[in-house]
Structure 1
Amino acid sequence: MPSASDQTLENQNEEELNSLHSKIKSLRSVTIDILDDANRQNDQTNSFTSFASSLFSTSRHHQRTMASTSTLRQYRTIAYIVGVIVVLWLIMKLWRSGSGSVPSPHTGLEPEY
C-alpha cells in the first residue's frame, strides 16, 4: 500500500506530465502555423517568379516583333497608344467635371449644402 508521500509524489508527477503535454501541444500548434506560413510565402514567391518569367517572355516577343516590322508600323503603333491614352484622359476629365451638383435652371432652387 502506497504511503501518503508516495501518493503526493505521484500526483505531482501527473501534474507535471499534464503541464508538459499542454506545452508540447502549444509548441506543435506554433510549428504547424510556421509551416503553413512558409508554404504560403513559397506559393507567393513561385507565382511572382512565374509572372516575372511570363512578363520577360512577352517583352522579348514584343521586342522581336517590333524589330522585324517597318519603321512606319512602329510609329503607327506608338500613335495608337498615345491616342488611346489621350482619349482615356479626356473621358476621365469629362466624367469628373460632369459629376458636380449643378442646380436646374427651371426649379429656381438653391442646392443644399
Structure 2
Amino acid sequence: MSRLQDSTLERQNDSELNQLHGKIKSLRHVTIDILSDSQRQNEQLDRTSSSFTQLGSNLLQTTRQQARTFSQQSPARQLRTIGYIVAGLIVLWLLAGWWLRSGSGGKPGNTTGMGEDGQSLR
C-alpha cells in the first residue's frame, strides 16, 4: 500500500511540477515581451528627444538670423513687418473665433441649432 501511495504522490508531484514549469515559461515570455516593449519605447523617446533638440537648434539659428536681418533694416521697414505679423495674427484669431462660433467646426451639416423635430439641440 505504501508503494501505491508513493507512486500516486510522485505522479501528482510530477504533474504539479509540469504545471509550474508551464507557468514559469509563460512568465518568462511575458517578461521578455515587457523588456522588448520598454526597449522600443526608449528608442522612440531617444528619437523624439533628438528631433526636439534639432528643432530647438534650428529655431535658435533662425532667431539669430532674423535678429541679424532685422537689425540691418530701416525702422520703417521693421514697423511694416511687425504690422503685417500683427495683422496676420488678428485675422487668424478672427477666423478661429468665427469657426468656433459656427458650431460645426468646419463640418457640413446642421448649423441652426435645431433638431429635425424643431426642438433646440442645446
Shift of 1:16: 2.6
Aligned length: 104
Amino acid across the alignment from 1:95: W
1:80 paired residue among 72, 84, 99: 84
TM-score by length of 1: 0.67
1:98 to 1:67, Cα distance in 2 relative to 1, 3 A:
closer
- Shifted more, 90-99 versus 29-38: the winner is 90-99
Shift of 1:98: 4.7
Residue 10 of structure 1 aligns to a residue whose secondary structure is helix
RMSD: 2.9
TM-score by length of 2: 0.63
Residue 49 of structure 1 aligns to a residue whose secondary structure is helix
Shift of 1:97: 4.4
> What residue number does 1:101 align with?
112
Amino acid across the alignment from 1:60: L
> RCO greater where, 1 or 2, for CA within 8 Å and sep 6 or more?
1
Shift of 1:43: 2.6
1:20 to 1:95, Cα distance in 2 relative to 1, 3 A:
closer
1:57 to 1:42, Cα distance in 2 relative to 1, 3 A:
same
> What residue number does 1:20 align with?
20
2:67 and 2:9 map into 1 onto residues whose CA distance is 86
> What residue number does 2:107 align with?
none
1:69 and 1:88 map into 2 onto residues whose CA distance is 26
Amino acid across the alignment from 2:30: V
1:48 to 1:79, Cα distance in 2 relative to 1, 3 A:
farther
- Shifted more, 27-36 versus 64-73: the winner is 64-73
1:80 to 1:63, Cα distance in 2 relative to 1, 3 A:
same
